[in-house]
Structure 1
Amino acid sequence: MGLRRTIQNHPHLLERLWQAAEWALHRLNPFFARVGYSRAARVILPFEDLGKKLVFDCQLCGQCILHYTGMTCPMTCPKNLRNGPCGGVRLNGHCEVKPEMRCVWVDAYERSQKMPLWGKELLTEQPPVNWQLKGTSSWMNLLRGVDRRLRQRRATENRNDRP
């Protein structure tokens, strides 16, 4: 088992690190707002990309939901599914598209069981990916409220769809 997998298989530690990072980001938010989120993102993005790519094989979707998915990046799913497995999970827990690869959602479920803070969030429905945010900093998007706007718009659409 590689170092990446070993780190990922200890999601409670990653959960605590994310909690600290989120706290720090919110504390720095006034500074980022003052210098401009776009300018701050140019400095932050390379570090965010490197760290997340090394640990999570981040695809830089701009809408990170690692803490909702057992600290497993759902964008590594060959079908880019953000709300659970496709139904094609093999009996051995591997992917139907890439049989040599474990299903991202099998890992997400197993890891979420080890997360006391956000483990239950795996059951939260996620909005569809906004592909316009690909390649942007999810941390800056979080601070700017882009994530909230996406969730609010989705909730409004769902309410309007009901009979």
Structure 2
Amino acid sequence: MYAMRRWSARHSNTLKAIYHQIENALVKLYPRLEKIGLEKIEKPLMFIEKPAKRFLFDSQSCGQCTLGSTGMSCPMNCPKTIRNGPCGGVRANGKCEVKPEMDCVWVVAWEGTQNLKPEERAIQIVQPMLDWRLKGKSAWLRSAEQRIRNL
């Protein structure tokens, strides 16, 4: 998992483009999905989303994905689950203070954002606090829903 997490950050530009295409497809399908019922769609969608994101990003399935803002690196892998930047305990060598053998999630995220277009580098935008009620829910579905509301 850890090797894939690093690989994903190094290839963040390509993965973000793929992620965006999945989101676009869900936006187009959204009216049909609504007719079926979003609560009925969520479980089958998570059957695909969870293992794919777990493999590529070591995603923790928080339901409020910020991969696009964090260089395709899941910030929930931080042992302190800090969602808005490093804790201040990053070691001089870029390792985590809690797990010294692990690269700081936020160092990896910063490196991943450097592969994105400048206008896509949203790592410095403060994210809302996590709503733990959404853990295990589809972030893809939620993201499509947000895009439709913002149209």
TM-score (norm: length of structure 1):
0.84
Once residues 134 and 38 of structure 1 are traced to their aligned partners in structure 2, the CA distance between those partners, rounded to angstroms, is 15
The residue correspondences of 1:96-111 to structure 2 (distance < 5 A) are 96-111=97-112
The residue correspondences of 1:1-163 to structure 2 (distance < 5 A) are 2-116=3-117, 119-145=120-146
Q: 1:79 corresponds to which letter in structure 2?
A: K
**5+ residue gaps, structure 2:** none
**5+ residue gaps, structure 1:** 149-163
**Conservation of the 8 A alpha-carbon contact between 1:68 and 1:118:** no
Once residues 66 and 73 of structure 2 are traced to their aligned partners in structure 1, the CA distance between those partners, rounded to angstroms, is 9
1:8 to partner: Cα distance: 3.1
Q: 1:15 corresponds to which letter in structure 2?
A: K
Larger radius of gyration: 1
Where do 4+ consecutive residues of structure 1 move more than 6 Å?
none
TM-score (norm: length of structure 2):
0.90
1:21 to partner: Cα distance: 1.1
What is the number of equivalent residue pairs in this alignment?
A: 146
Identity %: 43
